[in-house]
Amino acid sequence: SAFPVPGKHVAVITPRMLRILLSYLCLPLLGVFFLILYAYLGKITFTLTWPEGGVANWIIAFSSLGYFVYAFSHHMVEYEGYSKLRKCFTIFFASVIPMSVMLFFAIAQRIEQHGLTEKRYGVIVAGVWLLGISIYYLAHKKRFLQVIPYSAAILLLLSVLGPWNAFSLSVHSQFTRLKMALDS
């Protein structure tokens, strides 16, 4: 049943448990993911060799995981004065900016090679969203959690409505590439 039964133990996540979960599991995993991703992006930067895909997926996964962890720890970070946790997330938001730039370079290369598709359009929209959220959270002292879902919803609506939607731009791009291939 949806209601607790008297005499039965109901599992409840307490603030202390959440703090322990964040401090000893989520943030260390995010930190390890951060180090691996930055080492990978450093290798790409210094060797000037792009891998065959995957960069955008890792950047979006890391950033999304970080935003998810931030959403769960928002109350502690913003209202309970955990300054170390706030500094960790400030570093996280700052780290997303160069990764977003790398994401745009990676997706631009794929679009140049193979044209725009719905998936690549989605990566661009995700990159714009990640960059915008990070800049917002770095620029404002008072960080509102509602910005994350509201901005995502607005951006998703804009990406499916109007002449700039993913499908019409993809069809136009692929049709133009086909026409150029047939003309040459």
Q: Which residue has the higher pLDDT, 88 or 100?
A: 100
pLDDT score at 180:
84
For the cut 90, the answer to whether the pLDDT of residue 135 exceeds it is: yes
- In this structure, which long-range contacts are made by residues 154-157, counting pairs with CB atoms below 8 Å and at least 24 apart in sequence? 155/125, 155/128, 155/129, 156/125
Helical H runs in the chain?
A: 15-21, 27-47, 55-79, 83-114, 118-139, 147-160, 166-183
pLDDT score at 125:
92
pLDDT mean over 122-129: 92
pLDDT score at 150:
94
Could you read off the pLDDT of 92-125 as tens digits, one per residue? Answer: 999 999 999 989 988 888 888 888 888 888 899 9
pLDDT score at 63:
92
Q: Residues 15, 72: contact at Cβ < 8 Å?
A: no
pLDDT score at 1:
46
CA distance 62 to 18: 20
Q: Which residue has the higher pLDDT, 77 or 165?
A: 165
Residues in the chain: 184
Could you read off the pLDDT of 136-151 as tens digits, one per residue? Answer: 999 988 888 899 999 9
pLDDT score at 96:
94
Confidence of residue 5 (pLDDT cuts 50, 70, 90): low
For the cut 60, the answer to whether the pLDDT of residue 176 exceeds it is: yes
CA distance 63 to 37: 11
Tell me the pLDDT of the chain averaged across its residues. 84
For the cut 60, the answer to whether the pLDDT of residue 12 exceeds it is: yes
Distances (CA, A) of 149 to 74, 140, 145: 14, 17, 8
Q: Which residue has the higher pLDDT, 4 or 122?
A: 122
Tokens for 134? 């990070």
Q: Is 164 helix (H, G, I), strand (E, B) or coil?
A: coil
Q: Residues 56, 106: contact at Cβ < 8 Å?
A: yes
pLDDT mean over 66-71: 88
| Rg, the chain, Cα only | 20
What's the burial of 27, exposed, middle or buried (CB within 10 Å: 0-12/13-18/19+)?
A: buried
Confidence of residue 168 (pLDDT cuts 50, 70, 90): confident
Distances (CA, A) of 2 to 5, 6, 32, 50, 181: 9, 13, 38, 51, 61
CA distance 25 to 67: 15
